[in-house]
Amino acid sequence: MTESLNILVTGGAGYLGSIMVPELLAAGHTVTVLDNFMFKQVSLAHVCADAKFSVVKGDCRDEALMKRLIATADVVIPLAALVGAPLCKADPVGAETINLQAPLALFKSLSPSQRVLMPITNSGYGIGESGKFCTEETPMRPLSLYGIHKVEVEKALLERGNAISFRLATVFGMAPRPRIDLLVNDFTYRAVYDRFVVLFESHFKRNYIHVRDVARTFLHGLANFEAMKNEAYNVGLSDANLSKWELCERIKAQIPDFVFLEAPVGEDPDKRDYIVSNEKLEKTGWSPAHSLDAGITDLIKGYTMIKNTLYTNI
């Protein structure tokens, strides 16, 4: 049986946390969530009856508050972030203070014995070499402010030690706190409601991972911490290194009247284009439980309940 830990999750009411926190509680851990609830979400309402769950409304940049919360933590999972290039571009000061300065201050406040498991991003690979998989040894060449900050934070995290960095692929799937602005989620939403999408540079490739498999990855990291610590791991579906066009074909398989076209002019402001190897993580005994196709099915069900832009980050 896995030992019971005191875990602090910052940003724990967000997209990842809304799935991860209930899983951590189900595994027997005591979980404290810090969140500012900027999206007015009630994504953890269903775990409020759990005696091992507590929640604090506050800001991860409040160093006095953070020091109080980490005092009793065995493990910290820093999820709090302004996520994605558009949101960071819209609020560069918030991005700098939340995505970069707050984690760096956190690392300095922790004792050497306290463990950190942190989501980074595989968007740091930027533009990969054609036909060549990005591994954890591939040089990081981030294109966005979000990617630049995440790469810098990962460097400090691994230098600190007693930590694991998970370089997440583009996450997809339904969650209690949905994100419609992520690529798979966005395209599926458009397929459900608009029945069409116009693609810019549809040959650009990236890797994908279900939000529930992200939660499973963190539980795997906790259970195998000593063997995995002080390393970065790509987290994605090895059978889902797909172009935007190929992704649309997978969605069309479930929504046959979905139409997608290549734009005759213009370009995608997001220039990321790479394929990723997840072999290093898989060699630790991890494997995904949720396919891309299953995630698209989840989203179609979820969008039966949602038709608005309340759940986009920008």
- Which sequence spans correspond to the domains of the chain? 6-172+208-236+279-284
pLDDT of the residue at 87: 86
Token digits for 55?
């929640």
Confidence category of residue 257, pLDDT binned at 50, 70, 90:
very high
pLDDT of the residue at 309: 62
Half-sphere exposure of 213 (CA within 13 A, CB side): 26
pLDDT of the residue at 143: 86
- The pLDDT tens digits of the residues spanning 67-123 come to 999 999 999 999 999 988 788 889 999 999 999 999 999 999 999 999 999 999 998
Query: Of 298 and 264, which is predicted with more confidence?
Result: 298
Q: 235 and 87 in contact (C-beta within 8 Å)?
A: no
Query: Of 50 and 124, which is predicted with more confidence?
Result: 50
206: enclosing H helix or E strand? strand 205-210
Q: What does pLDDT average to over the chain? A: 94
Say yes or no to pLDDT of 311 above 70.
Answer: no
What would the mean pLDDT of 191-219 be, rounded to a whole number? 96
pLDDT of the residue at 1: 46
Work out the percent of the chain whose per-residue pLDDT is above 90.
86
Residues 6+ apart with CB under 8 A from 35: 10, 11, 12, 13, 14, 17, 55, 56, 57, 58, 80
- The pLDDT tens digits of the residues spanning 138-182 come to 999 998 888 999 999 999 999 999 999 999 999 999 999 999 999
Say yes or no to pLDDT of 314 above 80.
Answer: no
* CATH superfamily name and code, 6-172+208-236+279-284: NAD(P)-binding Rossmann-like Domain (3.40.50.720)
